[in-house]
Amino acid sequence: MPADEIDRWYAEATLLVFPTLFEGFGLPVLEAMSAGCPVLCTDLPVLHEVGGDAATYVDSRDPQALADAIVALLDDPQERARLSAAGIVRAAEFSWERTARQTLATLRATARPRRA
């Protein structure tokens, strides 16, 4: 699916529900946030790293908690608006340029000769 089409779907969505048990990074969470779509995802460390305080988290192995959180967010437009605004701000903290700078800094620090 073309990126602009993905952005449109996220922008028109009421909520992204991301009930994953395993995740390497959480790109869908970041994509949704950048489009202003509120995010509900499972309570995995990597998703906390990506979402910060701009997402709602539930226990990854508790389907009832997920269902309850979906209903709660659908019933609370103010919380969805808060998540949407916070998500846009959070997503802006991520960029390929920033990632490249951090990677380069790590490589430079690792390549420095060690003192004996």
Q: Which has more pLDDT, 115 or 86?
A: 86
pLDDT of residue 102: 83
Q: Classify domain 3-111 at the CATH superfamily level.
A: Glycogen Phosphorylase B; (3.40.50.2000)
> pLDDT tens digits, residue range 68-79?
999 999 999 999
> pLDDT tens digits, residue range 15-53?
999 999 999 899 999 999 999 999 999 999 999 999 999
Tokens encoding 19: 């009930």
User: What one-letter code names the amino acid at 64?
Assistant: Q
Least confident of 8-12, 20-24, 89-93, 110-114: 110-114
Looking at every residue in the chain, the average pLDDT score rounds to: 92
Q: For 13-19, which contacts have Cβ atoms below 8 Å and span 24 or more sequence positions?
A: 13/37, 14/38, 14/74, 14/80, 15/39, 15/40, 15/70, 15/73, 15/74, 15/80, 16/40, 16/41, 17/41, 17/66, 17/70, 18/42, 18/47, 19/58, 19/60, 19/66
Residue whose tokens read 């529900």:
17
Pick the most confident of 1-10, 54-63, 102-111.
54-63
Cβ neighbours for 28, distance < 8 A, ≥ 6 positions apart? 16, 18
In the chain, what are the domain boundaries? 3-111
Percentage of residues in the chain with pLDDT exceeding 90?
Answer: 71
Q: Is the pLDDT of residue 116 over 80?
A: no
